[in-house]
Structure 1
Amino acid sequence: MRKTTAVLFFTSLLLPASLATAAGASAASLPGEVPAAGACADASGVTVVVDLTDLGGDVVVSCADGDPATGRQALVDAGFTVADSTPGMICAINAAPDPCPETFDGSYWSYWSAEADADWTAYAVGAGSSDPVPGAFEGWRYNDGSTGPGLAPAALEAADPAAGAATETAAPAAPVAADPSDESGSSSWATVAGLGVLAVLLASVLVMVRRRRAAGQPDDDGRG
């Protein structure tokens, strides 16, 4: 009986730990994403929308409080990190793409603006020369420049502030770079396999205990 109890005890300890590991693996960040912050409330600042869908991520939203002097400053104040290929030319936002392209391949961080109830409009000037207005929206998308961010400002305006925007959002934090060697997928499968083994072990122990009791056999320590 003591051996059976010990196996059940240690199995009960291992199962919650394995479940926690699986949950952590499934919550791994996508390329370029950082923790949530959300859009600005009313005209308290400039809402920055970064569309990472062309790089395998989501649409990321954050707020640059106050009145940023330029679009580049709004991007930084909203918690995003930027990297330049040449002075003033942004080639990566939150380390995406990683690494920065050494030659132009047709895609770049296109820069957009919009009012709360309007569509995205491509900027005619660079982010270092623009002057965003509090209450307005700044948009970025890594593509050929033909399409603005996939999340319209009107969708953010319609979202319930208490529930948060229906998208991933951004806040000041260390960037998460895309890593081609990431093995989180294989780790998740290994965790699932481990959970299966533990479940089979627990089921086997329970069946053994029931059979012994049904047959009237003594347990491992010799007592009935």
Structure 2
Amino acid sequence: MRKVLALITFTLMAFVGLGAAPSQADDVDNEIGTCLAQGQVWLLVVTEEGEPLANQCVGNPPSGEQALADGGIRMQFGKGRMICSMSDHPETCPATFDGSYWAYFQGAPGQEYTYSELGPQASKPEGGAIEAWCFATAEAKECTPPQLNIVQGGQQVAPPTGTTVTDLPVTQNAAVSIPGGTPWALITTGVAVVLVVTALVVVQRRRRSAGPKATGGR
């Protein structure tokens, strides 16, 4: 009887131990935490309804535009190269400004987002930072990207005071090309050709101005 009771007790303890086991090791980061800890850039693009068009690590892009392209965001541009559509949201750029726009921010773990002072073509994302975009409707006039659930060292990074975290699904968008980019290769080749042609013209003019050399004498 004692052996039976001991066996039952051992079995119950084993089940309790399994139930109490943590689902995540204490030193495990989630995907965004790992990306930022490695000095890479995280891209977040959400619609006015909070739908993520992109929520993924994009490495170390040289510009904000490239970060969007690396995150699979298809861009359409308006006047002044202002991004007016991302991945068909809205489907096409409005003929005239209707009050809605894509707002551009930078963020970091546990910190509030700051509105970017530079456009995405001129900005250079910093490693360990978040490139964040949200769509502001004409009615709302403004927007703020959601605070992401960032886990580093097995602990959730506390969001700024007065905010809550949003656990959005991570995307795996394939990179796309930037439309209307400057064709630097063609420009470089063109400049080289112009320089060569200019040099040939200068040489020909110098030869003509020198004239034929005189030979013999009186």
**1:62 aligned partner, one-letter code:** Q
Is structure 2 residue 147 aligned with structure 1 residue 147?
no
Q: CA deviation at 1:77?
A: 1.2
2:67 partner SS: helix
Q: Is the 8 A contact 1:58 1:168 kept in 2?
A: no
Structure 2 length-normalised TM: 0.52
Q: Deviations over 1:57-114 (max 9, x none)?
A: 613411111x211111111112222111235211111111112222111110110001
Q: Size of the alignment, in residue pairs? A: 130
The RMSD of aligned alpha carbons is: 2.9
| Percent of aligned pairs with the same amino acid | 28
Distance 1:137 1:159, change over 3 A: farther
Q: Structure 1 CA distance, aligned partners of 2:174 and 2:74? A: 9
2:78 partner SS: strand
In structure 2, the partner of 1:49 is: 44
- Higher normalized contact order (CA 8 Å, seq sep 6+, divided by chain length): 1
Is structure 2 residue 167 aligned with structure 1 residue 166?
yes
Q: Could you list the runs of 4 or more consecutive aligned residues of structure 1 that deviate by over 6 angstroms after TM superposition?
A: 158-161
Structure 1 length-normalised TM: 0.50
In structure 1, the partner of 2:13 is: none
Q: Structure 2 CA distance, aligned partners of 1:148 and 1:158? A: 23
Q: Deviations over 1:19-74 (max 9, x none)?
A: xxxxxxxxxxxxxxxxxxx636223421011111x1x5613411111x21111111
Q: Is the 8 A contact 1:82 1:90 kept in 2?
A: yes
In structure 1, the partner of 2:123 is: 130
Q: Structure 2 CA distance, aligned partners of 1:111 and 1:104? A: 17
1:76 partner SS: helix
Q: Is the 8 A contact 2:64 2:131 kept in 1?
A: yes
What is the aligned counterpart of 2:69 among 56, 73, 76? 76
Long gaps (5+) in structure 2: 1-30, 156-165, 177-218
Q: Is the 8 A contact 1:113 1:139 kept in 2?
A: yes
Deviates more, 1:117-126 or 1:76-85: 76-85
Long gaps (5+) in structure 1: 1-37, 176-224
Which is higher, the Rg of structure 1 or of structure 2? 2
In structure 2, the partner of 1:91 is: 84
